[in-house]
Structure 1
Amino acid sequence: MFNTALFFILLFLGVPIAFVLGISSIIYIVTTGNVGILNSLPQRMFNGVQNFGLLAIPMFVLVGELMNSGGITKRLINFASVTIGSIRGGLAYVNVAANMFLASIVGSANAQTAIMSRTIVPEMEKKGYSRDFSSALTAASSIVGPLIPPSMPFIIYGVVAGQSIGSLFIAGIIPGLLFALAFSILIYFISIKRDFPKEERAGYGTILKTFGSVIPALSIPILVIWGILAGVFTPTESAAFAVLIALISGMFIYKELKIKDLPKILINTVLTSATVTFLVATSNIFGWVLTFEQVPQMIASAILGFAESPLVFLLLVNVILLVVGMFIDGLAALILLVPILLPIALQYGIDPIHFGLIMVINLTLGLMTPPVGTVLFITSSLADVKYEKLLKALVPFLVVSFIVLLIITYFPQISMFLIN
C-alpha cells in the first residue's frame, strides 16, 4: 500500500516517470526485505535495453534533428499551404497536412507539437483564426505522429511484444490518414460555421516548384517503407539509411545544414535517446516487481472473468488505456502493460499487430487529456494560450478521435489491409 501511494505521490509531484518507476521499485525491494536483489538490478536494467530493435530510436531521432535543422519544416508547411491553402479554412487544412508530412520525419507527438506550435499557430492567428482553435487543432493533429512511420512507440511495442516493427510501421499508415481525414471533415463544418478565410490560389508553376523542394524529405518515409517491404533492410537499418538521406538533403540539396550545427544536433539526439533508454531500463525493473507480486496474473484473471467476448475485451482495454494514458507516459505504459494485456488479447484471437496499434493510439490520446497530458502543456506554453481555453477548444477533436479509435478497434481490416 505504501509503495502504491509513493508511486502516485511522485507522479503528481511531477517527478519524471523514469525516476518514479526506478524509485518505487527500489523502495519496494528494500521494504520487503529483498535487499539481496539490489545486486542484480544493474544487470536487469542493462538486459532491458539490450535489444537490437532499440537502436532504431536514436537513428530516427537523429533523422528528425537533421531535417529540422535543414529547413524541411518550413518547406513542408509552404508546400501544404500552396496546394490546399486556397479553399475556405485553408490554413486549418494546412495544419493537418503539415502535421502528417512532419509525422513521416519526426515520429513523436511531443516534438511535432513543439515545432508546429512555434510556426503555424502564429501564422493562423495573423490570418484571422482564433488562437484557441489554432492551438487545439495543432495539438490534435499531433496524434498522427506516432502512427505514420517512423514511430518510436511502434519500435518499443515491437521490441517488448516480439513483433515485426516493419509490420507495425505499415499498419499505422491508413489509421494515420484516417485521423487526418476525420479532422479535415470536422474543419469543413467549423470553417462554414465560423466563416474562415481563404488564401490566394497559387499557380501551377509555384505548386510544382514547392513540390520539388519537398521531394527529398518525403522520400525518406517512402524509401523506409519500400526497403522494409522489399526486404532490402530491417527497420533499424532503414533508420541508418534515412539518416544518410537527411544528411545529404540538408547539406547539399537544401544547403541549410552546416557542419557547425552537427554538435548541437548530436547532443540533442543523445539526450532524447538517453531519456528513452533510461525509461526502458527502469520500466524493466518495475515490470519485474509487478511480476514478482503476480500483478499481471491478477489483472488477467479479472479481465477474463469480466470480458465474455473479444468485443467487450477491446472496449475494456480502450477504457483502461485511456485512463492510464492520462497519468503515465505512453512509452512507459507500453513497456508495463504489453506483457500483461497482449497474452490476454492472443487468447481472444486478436492479431498482435492490430492490438499494438490500438495500444499506441490510446496512449497517444492520453497525451492530449488532463491531468498530465504533455501535448496540452507544450501547446499551451509555446502557443501562449490558457490551458483551460485550449482544453475547451480541443473537445470536438477529442470526440472525433474517440470515434476513429472505435472504428479502428472494431474494424481491424482497416489497419491490416496494407499488410495483408
Structure 2
Amino acid sequence: MGTAVLSPGMAALILFGLFFLFLFLRVPVAFALGLACLPILVIEPRLSAMTLVQETFNAYNSFILLAVPFFLLTANLMNVGGITDRLMRLSRSMVGHFPGGLAQINVVLSIFFAGISGSSTADAASQSKIFIEAQRKEGYDDSFSVAITAVSAVLAVIIPPSILMIVWGGVLTVSIGALFLAGIIPGLLIGLAQMATVHAYAKARGYPTYPRSTWREFLCASWVSIPALMTPAIIIGGKIFGWFTATESACIAVLYAGALSLVVYREMDFKGLQYALLDTGKLAGAALFCVGTASAFGWLLAYYQIPKAILEGVSAWGMGLTVTGFFIAFVFLVVGCFLDAIPAIIIVGSILQPLAKAVSMDPVHFAMIGIVSLAFGLVTPPYGLCLMIACSVAGIRIGDALKDTMIMLVPMLMVLALVIIWPDVSLILPSLISPEFLR
C-alpha cells in the first residue's frame, strides 16, 4: 500500500462523500455506488476504470446469486397461479376472528409468503394490492393499513428462504443452511409481536372482526393449502439435509410453483406467466445490479484497508459480546435508512465482520443481528422501499403513515434486543438440527 497515491482516510472521504452526495441528488443507489468508485480508479495509477467492470463481473460470477431471481420467480408464479389466494383463505380461518381480523390475516399471510418468496419488496407489492383497499372499505385508517402492510412485508427477509441470507452466506462465507434455521424463531417472534400490535390497535380504534371459522372451514382451507405450504418445507428441508444447494432449491421451488399453478390449481395462463417472468426480470435486475456495484465499492474499501482503519478505533473501546451486538445493530439500523440491504451487507457486513470475530461472536448470530436490523431499513425513511410501495398503492404520502409505522417498530426492536442479548434465540435450531453448520 506504500505505492498508493491516496491514503485510506482520503480514499474513504472520496468514496463515502461522493456516494452520499449522489444519494442526496436522488441518483439510484446502484449507480451512486459505481459512480463513487470512478474518481479513485482514475486517480490511482495502479487501477483503471476497467477495474469497476471487472469487480462487478466477478460479483455476478457466483452460483449462489442465481438463487435470487429464482426465488423472486417462485413468488410471482404463486401470485398469478392462485396460490396466494389459498394461503389467504387459510389465514382467515386461523386468525380472522381476532380483533382487527383483516389486518391479522395480513400479518399471517406475510409469514406464509415469507416462507416462499424471500423478497420483502415482492411481498409488499402483492400484499398492498390485496389488503389496503380491502381494509379501507372495512373502516381501517389508511395510515394503519399502509403501516401494517409495509411492516409485515419485512418478515420475508427474516423468515427463510431469505434473499438477504443467500447474499450474506455467499459474501461472508456463512452456512446458508444455518442461516435458514436461525431465522425461523426471530421471524416468528416478530410476526407475533406484529399481531399483538394489531390487537392493541383494533381494541383502541374499534376495527372489525370476522366471525370465528368452523373446524370444517379450517380443515378445508388447510387441505387446499397443503401443496403451497410444502414449498418452504422443500426449500428449507432440502438445503438443511444436503439434498441440494441453495441455488438448486430455488430452481426446484420454481418448478414446484409452476406445477402447482398450471397442473394443480390451474389458474395461470400464458399472460400470467409472461407477467411473472417480466416482473421477476425487473426485480432481479435491480437487486443484482446493486450487488455488482456494491462489490466494486467494497473491493476498493479492502484495497485501501479502510475497514481495518475504522475498526482500530472501535476496538479500542473494549466492548464485550453484548455491547458489540448492540453496536453492530445500531450501525446496520442507521445504514439501512440510507442504503439497500444487499449493498449494506457487502460493504458494512465486511467491515464489521472482524469486530464480531474479535469478541468471539458466532458468525450466524452476527448474521442474524445484521439481517434483522437491516429489515427495519425497508420501512424507515429516507430509503424505506416497502413503505414507499405501500404508500404508492394507497395513494398517500409517506409522512401520513410514518407515526403508525414507528409505533409498530417498537415491539420489533424489542425482539431485536432479545436476539442480541440471548444468542440462543437464533442459534438453538441450528445447534439442535445441524450443529455442524455453526462456526
Relative distance call for 1:87 and 1:273 in structure 2 (3 A) is closer
Return the alpha-carbon distance in structure 2 between the equivalents of residues 392 and 162 of structure 1: 38
Relative distance call for 1:386 and 1:260 in structure 2 (3 A) is closer
Return the alpha-carbon distance in structure 2 between the equivalents of residues 238 and 5 of structure 1: 40
User: 8 Å contact 1:303–1:313 — kept in the other structure?
Assistant: no
User: 8 Å contact 2:91–2:105 — kept in the other structure?
Assistant: yes
Report how many residues are paired: 419
Number of the residue aligned with 1:390:
401
Number of the residue aligned with 1:284:
295
Number of the residue aligned with 2:419:
408
Equivalent of residue 322 in structure 2, options 307, 311, 326: 311
**Unaligned regions of 5+ residues in structure 2, if any?**
1-12, 432-439
**Unaligned regions of 5+ residues in structure 1, if any?**
none
Cα deviation for residue 353 of structure 1 reads: 0.8
Return the alpha-carbon distance in structure 1 between the equivalents of residues 30 and 370 of structure 2: 20
Return the alpha-carbon distance in structure 2 between the equivalents of residues 46 and 325 of structure 1: 25
Return the alpha-carbon distance in structure 2 between the equivalents of residues 233 and 292 of structure 1: 35
Number of the residue aligned with 1:21:
33
Return the alpha-carbon distance in structure 1 between the equivalents of residues 51 and 143 of structure 2: 50
2:245 is the counterpart of 1:234: yes
Equivalent of residue 83 in structure 1, options 75, 94, 97: 94
Cα deviation for residue 191 of structure 1 reads: 2.2
1:178-193 to structure 2, matched below 5 A, reads: 178-193=189-204
The AA in structure 1 aligned to 2:370 is M
Number of the residue aligned with 1:126:
137
Return the alpha-carbon distance in structure 2 between the equivalents of residues 202 and 392 of structure 1: 33
Cα deviation for residue 36 of structure 1 reads: 4.4
* Alpha-carbon displacement from aligned partner over 1:76-107 (angstroms, at most 9, x marks no partner): 22221122212322222111101111111221
Q: Percent of aligned pairs with the same residue?
A: 37
User: 8 Å contact 1:89–1:187 — kept in the other structure?
Assistant: yes
2:146 is the counterpart of 1:135: yes
Q: Secondary structure at the match of 1:199?
A: coil
Return the alpha-carbon distance in structure 1 between the equivalents of residues 112 and 21 of structure 2: 39
Number of the residue aligned with 1:377:
388
2:32 is the counterpart of 1:9: no
1:4-403 to structure 2, matched below 5 A, reads: 4-30=16-42, 32-34=43-45, 36-403=47-414
The worse-fitting range, judged by mean Cα deviation, of 347-356 and 72-81 is 72-81
Return the alpha-carbon distance in structure 1 between the equivalents of residues 157 and 15 of structure 2: 32
Return the alpha-carbon distance in structure 2 between the equivalents of residues 56 and 329 of structure 1: 18
Structure 1 stretches of 4+ with a deviation exceeding 3 A read 1-5
Q: Secondary structure at the match of 1:350?
A: coil
User: 8 Å contact 2:124–2:153 — kept in the other structure?
Assistant: yes
The AA in structure 1 aligned to 2:62 is N
Return the alpha-carbon distance in structure 1 between the equivalents of residues 67 and 16 of structure 2: 34
The AA in structure 1 aligned to 2:266 is K
User: 8 Å contact 2:158–2:375 — kept in the other structure?
Assistant: no
Q: Secondary structure at the match of 1:308?
A: coil
TM (normalized to structure 2)?
A: 0.91
Relative distance call for 1:278 and 1:34 in structure 2 (3 A) is farther
The AA in structure 1 aligned to 2:17 is A
Number of the residue aligned with 2:10:
none
Cα deviation for residue 395 of structure 1 reads: 1.9
* Alpha-carbon displacement from aligned partner over 1:244-275 (angstroms, at most 9, x marks no partner): 11011000111111234333322332332232
Return the alpha-carbon distance in structure 2 between the equivalents of residues 216 and 307 of structure 1: 52
Return the alpha-carbon distance in structure 2 between the equivalents of residues 341 and 180 of structure 1: 28
TM (normalized to structure 1)?
A: 0.95
* Alpha-carbon displacement from aligned partner over 1:57-87 (angstroms, at most 9, x marks no partner): 1211111111111012222222211222123
Return the alpha-carbon distance in structure 1 between the equivalents of residues 285 and 46 of structure 2: 28
Cα deviation for residue 2 of structure 1 reads: 5.0
The AA in structure 2 aligned to 1:21 is L
